[in-house]
A and B are shown apart, each in its own frame.
Chain A
Amino acid sequence: QVLLVESGGGVVQPGRSLRLSCTASGFTFSNYGMHWVRQTPGKGLEWLGVIWHDGTNKYYADSAKVRFTISRDNSKNTLYLQMNSLRVDDTAIYYCARHQSLGETTSFDSWGQGTLVTVSS
Chain B
Amino acid sequence: DIQMTQSPSSMSASIGDRVTITCRASENIDTYLNWYQQKPGKAPKLLIYATSSLQSGVPSRFSGSGSGTDFTLSISSLQPGDFATYFCQQSYVTPPTFGQGTKVEIK
The complex places the Cα of A106 from the Cα of B49 at a distance, in Å, of 8
CB atoms of B49 and A113 under 8 A apart: no
Q: Is the interface of B mostly helix, strand, loop or mixed?
A: loop
What residues of A have a CB within 8 angstroms of the CB of B94 in the complex? 59
Q: Is the interface of A mostly helix, strand, loop or mixed?
A: strand
- The contact of B43 among A100, A102, A106, A112, by CB within 8 Å, is A112
- Taking residues whose C-beta sits less than 8 angstroms from the other chain, chain A's interface range is 20 to 34
Asked, given contacts A107-B34, A107-B49, A109-B55, whether A95 binds B43 with beta carbons under 8 Å apart, the answer is: yes
Q: Which segment of B11-19, B59-67, B71-79, B95-103 sits at the interface?
A: B95-103
A111 touches B (CB below 8 Å): yes
Asked, given contacts A111-B43, A113-B42, whether A44 binds B101 with beta carbons under 8 Å apart, the answer is: yes
Q: How many A-B residue pairs have CB under 8 A?
A: 59
B87 touches A (CB below 8 Å): yes
CB atoms of A109 and B43 under 8 A apart: no
CB atoms of B91 and A107 under 8 A apart: yes
The complex places the Cα of A38 from the Cα of B87 at a distance, in Å, of 14
A11 touches B (CB below 8 Å): no
What residues of B have a CB within 8 angstroms of the CB of A109 in the complex? 46, 49, 55
Residues 1-59 of B at the A interface (beta carbon under 8 Å):
31-32, 34, 36, 42-46, 49-50, 53, 55
Interface centre among A44, A109, A112, A113 (most CB of B within 10 A): A44
Q: Chain B: which residue is nearest A50 at the CB level?
A: B94
A114 touches B (CB below 8 Å): yes
B residues adjacent to A (C-beta < 8 A): 31-32, 34, 36, 42-46, 49-50, 53, 55, 87, 89, 91, 94-101
CB pairs A–B below 8 angstroms (17 shown): A44-B101, A45-B44, A45-B87, A46-B98, A47-B95, A61-B95, A102-B50, A105-B31, A105-B49, A105-B50, A106-B91, A106-B96, A108-B36, A108-B89, A109-B49, A109-B55, A111-B43
A residues adjacent to B (C-beta < 8 A): 44-47, 59, 61-62, 95, 100, 102-114
